[in-house]
Amino acid sequence: MPSSAPSLPRRFLRTLRLSLFAQVACALVLGILVGTLWPQAGTAVQPLGDGFVRLIKALIAPLVFCVVVFGITKAGDLKAFGRIGVKALIWFEVATTFALLFGLVAGNLVAPGAGMNVDPAQLDASAVDQKTGGGSLPSTSEFILHSLPDSAVGAFAENSLLQVLVLACLVGAALLHLGLSRVPAILPAIEQVQEIVFTVVGFIMKLAPLAVFGATAHLVGQYGVGVMTTYGKLIGVCYAVALLFLLLLAVALKAVTGLSLWKFVRYTREEMLLALGTASSETVMPRMMQKLRQAGCRDDAVGLVLPTGYSFNLDGASIYLSVATLFIAQAVGVDLTLGQQVTVVLVLMLTSKGMAGVPGSAFLALSATASSLGVIPAGAVALLLGVDRIMDSMRVATNLLGNCVAVFAVSRWEGALDVARARKVLNQEITVTAEPDAEDSVRGEAGVA
């Protein structure tokens, strides 16, 4: 009697048609193959990834504005919002400091640049200027001033998240001050705009496999796999330290909220794979905000902590910068003292906060660190030109998970986390969908809200 079960190819095609995760995974593998076998073709499809990133970035500013304003007004307590901001900044500073220290300890123990005996005079320092466009990281005062908008339209046009956050906080405070009885139509309108933006994000996400294919094929086609052998030790150290740091984050998340980081990764596997494939955490910010809200985090906590973390909580970048600084010093034969390594931590604690959105920011931060030490030739930063792009996956994954853990932790700290719902969502007792207004699918009595 013939079996009624569908054949393996049919099950695969059905999964591929219904699962964004399967589509992105296949696109990732296909991109690696095309980039390896036909490098020129891989480079030619780069616009697929770049175009997707541009579309998503166009929606981030209005989405952040709507979520923050709606969250403040819905919570009805501006002081609570201020406490969330202060607690988020404390968490960010502690997390990035640990990341920097982890990187320095690993760089000293493994010494990835030892024995390279590089002559800095033979390096092309001008290549770093080309990478950074001759720019520079903002000073502390410039960073603070740039966070304050001088034009309401300009904040959105320039996609400056910190400026949009400031505007959103002011609008939310004004709505609380006036009271909804005096401006009854504003909050429903903001909520409707938020729903429209989420829906548009859903449309754009259907193009995610094309974006991952284009970005991956370009990366492999341009840089090849040879760089893995040349910089294998440095790459291995950075990825190992990032994994160790994520394990520490998992312990912290479990201790603070009782939630599992692994289950959260499984819950957001589509977004994680997309971020890795496009080497950009911004491409998944809208979806991550949506999923964090569905997992029990209050709107005001999600709207403030996650976008702010994109500028202040760059854990993966911090690991890379500390390891890379020691790698450069070791490669050119400079033995940094304990005092100089403390200087590295202090300098990177400042420069890493102004990196977001600055072209070639990693090289600018490394150049600033080398200049502050006075013993590492500035041109030595060019050593990392061939490997910097390979580090994107580590930086993106660590930055993204670090910010999501921060949302859960600060929400729990402020009493803005529905832990029971979070457990049900992460345990897949409640299956949430990508649509903002769709009803949750509940499995069994345990999932009844």
Instruction: Specify whether the CB–CB gap between 295 and 407 falls below 8 A.
Output: no
What is the per-residue pLDDT for 135? Answer: 54
Q: Look at residue 264 and tell me whether its pLDDT is greater than 80.
A: yes
Q: Of residues 403 and 173, which shows the higher confidence score?
A: 403
Place of tokens 């052998």: 229
What is the per-residue pLDDT for 447? Answer: 37
Q: CA–CA separation, 327 vs 112, rounded Å?
A: 6
What is the per-residue pLDDT for 254? Answer: 95
Of 50-64, 73-87, 139-153, which has the strongest mean pLDDT? 50-64
Place of tokens 């520079």: 136
What is the per-residue pLDDT for 436? Answer: 46
Mean per-residue pLDDT for 332-352? Answer: 81
Closest CA to 283 of 391, 430, 399: 399
Burial zone of 189 (CB within 10 Å; 0-12 exposed, 13-18 middle, 19+ buried)? exposed
Range 134-137 contact pairs with CB under 8 angstroms and sequence separation of 24 or more: 135/358, 135/359, 135/360, 135/364, 136/364, 137/351, 137/354, 137/355, 137/358, 137/361, 137/364, 137/365, 137/368
* Per-residue model confidence as pLDDT tens digits over 20-73: 777 888 888 888 888 888 888 777 887 888 888 888 888 888 888 888 888 888
Mean per-residue pLDDT for 279-304? Answer: 89
Q: Look at residue 374 and tell me whether its pLDDT is greater than 60.
A: yes
Residue 297 φ then ψ, to 5° = -85, 135
Residue 438 — very low, low, confident or very high, per pLDDT cuts 50/70/90? very low
* 83, 132, 177, 180, 185 from 80: Cα distances, Å: 5, 40, 15, 19, 24
Strand partners, 386: none
* Per-residue model confidence as pLDDT tens digits over 196-205: 988 888 888 8
Residue 417 — very low, low, confident or very high, per pLDDT cuts 50/70/90? very high
Residue 437 — very low, low, confident or very high, per pLDDT cuts 50/70/90? very low
* Per-residue model confidence as pLDDT tens digits over 345-367: 888 877 766 555 555 566 677 77
CA atoms lying within 13 Å on the CB side of residue 189: 6
Token duo for residue 228: 């893995």
Average pLDDT, the chain: 80
Token duo for residue 347: 């300098």
Place of tokens 């999501």: 404
Token duo for residue 389: 């792009």
Q: Look at residue 1 and tell me whether its pLDDT is greater than 50.
A: no
pTM here? 0.81
What is the per-residue pLDDT for 6? Answer: 63
Pairing relationship of beta strands 441-442 and 430-431 according to DSSP bridges = antiparallel
Q: What percent of the chain has pLDDT over 90?
A: 20
Q: Look at residue 240 and tell me whether its pLDDT is greater than 90.
A: yes
Residue 444 — very low, low, confident or very high, per pLDDT cuts 50/70/90? very low
Q: Look at residue 117 and tell me whether its pLDDT is greater than 80.
A: no
Q: Look at residue 308 and tell me whether its pLDDT is greater than 70.
A: yes
Mean per-residue pLDDT for 238-249? Answer: 94
Q: Look at residue 2 and tell me whether its pLDDT is greater than 60.
A: no
